Amino acid sequence: QVPLVESGGGLVQAGGSLRLSCAASGSIFSINAMGWYRQAPGKQRELVAVIKKGGTTNYADSVKGRFTISRDNAKNTVYLQMNSLKPEDTAVYYCNTDPHLREYWGQGTQVTVSS
């Protein structure tokens, strides 16, 4: 069983929006803060948004005011609403716990923003 499954990526024009979803097993979701990470070509993976079990959120400066992370505890799902997308947001997006665990990295979902 894959512990974390991301979906919702795609190709969008600059200024557009996408919503990513991450379905997690209940055991992960109930005890951990969850994060969205991204890795652009030639760059290191970076943490862009975190939501703690109690709902507190934090964002990287590069996405603050444009991205919103949320979680649905009943569905064991975490979301990333991405608005006002920029070409520099192009990357593979992953969810994982925060701090991340190597065994939870999944395939990710590709987000491509055209200019």
Mean predicted confidence (pLDDT) in 14-37: 89
Q: Which of the four pLDDT bands, split at 50, 70 and 90, describes residue 27?
A: confident
Q: Which of the four pLDDT bands, split at 50, 70 and 90, describes residue 30?
A: confident
What is the rounded distance in angstroms from the CA atom of residue 8 to the CA atom of residue 109?
A: 7
Helix (H, G, I), strand (E, B) or coil at 72: strand
Mean predicted confidence (pLDDT) in 42-57: 94
pLDDT tens-digit profile of 82-104? 999 999 999 999 999 999 999 99
Q: Which two tokens stand for residue 113?
A: 């923003």
